[in-house]
Amino acid sequence: MSVSQVERDPVIMAEILTEGRELFKRYGFKKTTMEDIAKMVGKSKSALYYYFKTKEEIFEAIIMHDMKQQHQKVAAAVKEASTAREKFRSFVKGMFENVKEKAEVYSVYRAELFESAKRILELTEEKDRFVEHQLKDILLFGISNGEVKHLQSMEMETWVNMIHWGLKQVGMKIFMNNENDYILDNLDFLADSLFDGVSTR
């Protein structure tokens, strides 16, 4: 998103993202045009270009908006929990919240998204930073209150990366295949199993 877009009317920006999301869901990314989105918002195509130059920019803004909303909810739930185990459970549940709903919303165009590995990497960089930050904070909190073993720096890094990569793979499996939905009913078990590796209990 360009710097100039920050100065634009936030109400219109929100409208563009809402209507763009609906059109992408209904028709897919390739078939949706800037003109389609402009019509849905009730603006001219030139007015739409004032906010976004391409539909790719709109798509990326939608993904980033949804991701930021999820991160805010997860961070709030983690902060509210009183123990490291509860914080980790809240984190795992929050990261998987609405994953099936999102899969259905994006089902029409998710294949198109996965065509570009570079775009995937760009869109997930912020999410990766958020996940790693949350996991490190949970570990440090657990160490400070005696719930988590004292870990060397490289041990912490190893655990954070292992959990991060593992959860990412689980999330991808659920997102792409309904056969893995049972995991969503066992998130406490999943979280506890992963946490037990560093727990003092």
pLDDT tens digits, one per residue of 133-142: 999 999 999 9
Q: What is the largest CA-CA distance in the chain?
A: 62
Q: Average pLDDT of 156-173?
A: 92
Q: Average pLDDT of 30-37?
A: 91
Distance CA(24)–CA(108), nearest Å, equals 7
Residue 40: pLDDT above 60? yes
Question: Would you say 85 and 192 are in contact if contact means Cβ atoms under 8 Å apart?
Answer: yes
pTM of the complete model: 0.79
CA dihedral 183, 187, 192, 198 (to 10 degrees): 80
| CA distance to 8, 30, 53, 97, per residue, from 47 (Å) | 11, 21, 10, 36
Q: How confident is the model at residue 88 (pLDDT cuts 50, 70, 90)?
A: very high
Place of tokens 């409208």: 15
Token pair belonging to 87? 């914080």
Question: Would you say 81 and 87 are in contact if contact means Cβ atoms under 8 Å apart?
Answer: yes
Q: Average pLDDT of 139-160?
A: 96
Place of tokens 């990261």: 95
Question: Would you say 79 and 178 are in contact if contact means Cβ atoms under 8 Å apart?
Answer: no
